[in-house]
Structure 1
């Protein structure tokens, strides 16, 4: 037995002062940070999974420099785990020993042990950022559309292809300097919230109901904060949270993992000696962190670190010899659960896909990159990829950029969406279908491949501001281009019923010769089929006509010059679903 192991066991017994439950009889549980993690956050909680709160038993936590740590235990909302929240932070660069009398820990060897260790890293102050980003300002797009009832210029949308067989789901995207947008399949605006800097805008399910989700960066006082947001069908924020354990919330991933949990990724900069890789002694390096967050409690249910699991020399990025920003050697951009419960990760800068043991954090296999365990099938070569997903039918999908930008070599002539199969025993892959854009798009950054419920495939082309739907044969059914000064990270097609409050109904009226003209819109609404107008004196409004909804903004002519108007929204069943505020002739009411 090693000196370290002997010391650890002696320490454990002396702390608890009671006999251990024999390892063969003890329950094995998972713990995070996982055994052997080298750069945990000094403000980390210690999470235990696979154990009910009352079955955890005594836990002792000791830092090699900070000493013993008291704290409190909080249960995870699913009843299958707890987190220990230390009363004080750990020190930078210290070893932490976690001990349990009743339980042993996964990842501590064949003879599972009652204790394990991890280490904290040398953390760089949060003033370091990989690429400083300021919040959006609702920037004017190069080509835009204006509305009488909406004061912002809206990026133009051009439907280049629309064929039978395409879905009727709405299209969701979010140009960075403009804000989240929803449009219908004719290119009509449904929803626009300018001034929000967000990514990964889409429909997901939360507590059994459809919601909108995104990552957002915003100015909070004198600082810039990053967090994840969930909105209900009324466009009301019902949940905001951030990555756990002190990590900065990263914009690349926010995927609901269950009814009330989410996969997110965070990052923090640590100092590392990269001389063995041709770099500097003190190099700021980004540790990419994947987490599952319990949204009810905010506790961390699972955590994985790139540093310590993936060596620096697996990167395709040049090792820095001059420090200008933290070194992003890994660039985690998607997190997915495989059918066996283990985790699937995509790392753009390693040009590889990873399967990770959820309980221990250890890598099960690598696909592509410098240390691939797989024989890559014909037509399957990919690089600088995004959005690694397991589909419901057992296939897998990615978006293959094939290029990494101006400072990295181009690997392919065209980007593509890929559907493929994996034989995990034989370590082989087989291409099912590739999806290329008819104009030969090569996307240097971002992008996604979404398999729709009917088997069609929706591809977002990242920095090329284009979204395309294909049938299973690869035929283009729908193609959309939008005008914006910056890109959208991902592009999705989903059904959505938006029901904003009636206070959001906007009305503009004006004199038009011997009659009046009224414009009405309801930003975010998807239900109105007909607009009815009441007109007259403010206290004596009467029916003055109605017309079918016409896209985002509908125009209604009214005889004469009434003093006031009220607009009423009616759904396809004839039900009144919203009434505007009173609008006086010549005013804009919103």
Structure 2
């Protein structure tokens, strides 16, 4: 975190005077805390893939979705409307690549009720989808199946009154019934709905009711956390509290087979048993399943470490065997909650360790090639910094807003939130707002690249962003400066802005001030 945070005072009257275009994606680390990411193993190797995260926890000051590059640099930081988000991933909707991200209310019991939003490459919402019935889509899954490009697979949690005396609860108890749904994104039409309590006996749960089972604290006997589909359209479900994945028939809802748990159709080979798992996905003609084995819950820790598993299975012999076990490095520990195992397009694997803030990447044969940690280089485990799932993706962000420059204490700070192609910045200067040119060039360094203006002798300052080939991507508005401080603001010489005004704002003579465009609202601030 930068130590020189300015004091921000709302100045809406100044905003009314400003006719320059407001930057809706303008996020400055001068006014917005940005979480660090530390590369522990490996580094940038011409791989321009990005990492999707949704950090949260007591040590995360600004719990919003963040996209990191392979240097650990944040390249997109979402605004506060996405606070406490979950499950940011990519998918295809009607043929175009989108980001999917869940937002809503997160309950202390470990589920939620909200909406899954689809964002285009300008980071604008193109569609929203939620559950049909119940309180809303749950935090755990918003997955657009490749086979449709038009529907979303959603986990849904629904509290119902139920007799729980079978399992040590009261006869007038309450259960969190788990549903999964497939919903048409465009129309909101329900395509398929399935209820756990209608098909799975409560006695199969490894999470005893304990003190739960009341209306205020219903029993979470099943805890669905992932959904996938096979070639025939049947549904693969992960139920954490059953220690089980199972396949549901797309037509009549019958359970076709179960893997793991108290009632497994498969003989589980050496190393294939899993507990409290997350994120089950099909691979290789639907003969293999990957999943994240937490090896723990909040109340049970009987294994030493979480791991990623790739399991082969055969429905003719009903045997399951271990293809690959992926252990974390440089740290090892069980993960109380959350987690993911993702097959990357190049055949490598990315495993995110959920309630532990680290990610490890592996070659196709399981060798560790890269590791990244959120927060400090020696992070606390299981809680203070968490990340539900890590995804390594190819994604090109193209926000409509131009690059952003902030000046504080004779230092210029450059950023372009969401413009993933930026590799360097030119500091622009000149004696005329419409005649600025390159003064110096600076490799992008961190979310916000900073340059001292102590020797800057020009009357106007701006920034120009370039890609890895040196091509110009866009320019900021131009600021009039004196002695390292902004004295007027609003002039534009930017190919990225359509028609920003060149009107200046009159400020009190001699006052050290700077205009900062609000991150998501048409507001301004005086920096004192």
| TM exceeding 0.5 | yes
Residue 581 of structure 1 deviates from its aligned partner by 2.1
Residue 208 of structure 1 deviates from its aligned partner by 1.8
Residue 194 of structure 1 deviates from its aligned partner by 5.1
Is the aligned partner of 1:382 residue 2:277? no
Distance 1:208 1:299 in 2: 20
Is the aligned partner of 1:577 residue 2:473? yes
Distance 1:510 1:562 in 2: 16
Change (3 A) 1:167 1:522: closer
Output aligned runs, 1:79-478, within 5 Å: 144-145=1-2, 149-150=28-29, 151-162=31-42, 168-176=48-56, 178-193=63-78, 195=80, 196-217=83-104, 226-257=114-145, 258-320=148-210, 323=214, 324-392=216-284, 394=286, 395-405=288-298, 407=299, 409-438=300-329, 439-478=331-370
In the alignment, is the contact (CA less than 8 A) between 2:462 and 2:477 conserved in 1?
A: yes
Partner of 1:508: 406
**What's the CA shift string for 1:364-413, capped at 9, x where partnerless?**
111111111110011111111111100245421010111112x2x33422
Question: TM-score with structure 1 length normalisation?
Answer: 0.69
Partner of 2:490: none
Distance 2:467 2:195 in 1: 50
Is the aligned partner of 1:496 residue 2:395? yes
Partner of 1:483: 375
Distance 2:86 2:353 in 1: 14
In the alignment, is the contact (CA less than 8 A) between 2:429 and 2:439 conserved in 1?
A: no
Partner of 2:441: 547
Change (3 A) 1:345 1:147: farther
In the alignment, is the contact (CA less than 8 A) between 1:355 and 1:366 conserved in 2?
A: yes
In the alignment, is the contact (CA less than 8 A) between 2:356 and 2:385 conserved in 1?
A: no
In the alignment, is the contact (CA less than 8 A) between 1:402 and 1:413 conserved in 2?
A: yes
Change (3 A) 1:354 1:560: closer
Distance 1:567 1:440 in 2: 43
Change (3 A) 1:282 1:511: closer
1:521 to 409, 415, 418: 415
Change (3 A) 1:349 1:567: same
Q: Secondary structure at the match of 1:152?
A: coil
**What's the CA shift string for 1:423-463, capped at 9, x where partnerless?**
01221111111001133221111101001122211000000
Residue 244 of structure 1 deviates from its aligned partner by 1.2
Question: TM-score with structure 2 length normalisation?
Answer: 0.77
Distance 2:249 2:227 in 1: 13
Distance 1:573 1:436 in 2: 37
1:567 to 442, 463, 469: 463
Distance 1:458 1:433 in 2: 13
Q: Secondary structure at the match of 2:203?
A: helix
Structure 1 residues 305-314 or 177-186, which shifts more? 177-186
Residue 582 of structure 1 deviates from its aligned partner by 2.8
- Greater relative contact order (Cα < 8 A, sep 6+): 2
Distance 1:511 1:404 in 2: 48
**What's the CA shift string for 1:173-223, capped at 9, x where partnerless?**
11125111111111112111253110001222222222111110169xxxx
**What's the CA shift string for 1:98-157, capped at 9, x where partnerless?**
xxxxxxxxxxxxxxxxxxxxxxxxxxxxxxxxxxxxxxxxxxxxxx45688421222221
Distance 2:234 2:431 in 1: 67
5+ unaligned residues in a row in structure 1: which ranges?
1-143
- Bigger share in strand: 1
**What's the CA shift string for 1:307-341, capped at 9, x where partnerless?**
11011111011134663501110000000002232
Q: Secondary structure at the match of 1:197?
A: coil
Residue 511 of structure 1 deviates from its aligned partner by 6.9
Residue 472 of structure 1 deviates from its aligned partner by 2.5
Distance 1:260 1:337 in 2: 14
In the alignment, is the contact (CA less than 8 A) between 1:341 and 1:358 conserved in 2?
A: yes
Output aligned runs, 1:57-96, within 5 Å: none
Q: Secondary structure at the match of 1:279?
A: coil
Q: Secondary structure at the match of 2:158?
A: strand
Change (3 A) 1:294 1:357: same
In the alignment, is the contact (CA less than 8 A) between 1:509 and 1:584 conserved in 2?
A: no
5+ unaligned residues in a row in structure 2: which ranges?
6-27, 58-62, 107-111, 377-383, 486-513, 518-528
Q: Secondary structure at the match of 1:502?
A: coil
Residue 509 of structure 1 deviates from its aligned partner by 3.0
Structure 1 residues 380-389 or 485-494, which shifts more? 485-494
Distance 1:166 1:580 in 2: 27
In the alignment, is the contact (CA less than 8 A) between 1:533 and 1:568 conserved in 2?
A: yes
Change (3 A) 1:147 1:459: farther
In the alignment, is the contact (CA less than 8 A) between 2:44 and 2:70 conserved in 1?
A: no
In the alignment, is the contact (CA less than 8 A) between 1:508 and 1:583 conserved in 2?
A: no
Q: Secondary structure at the match of 1:532?
A: strand
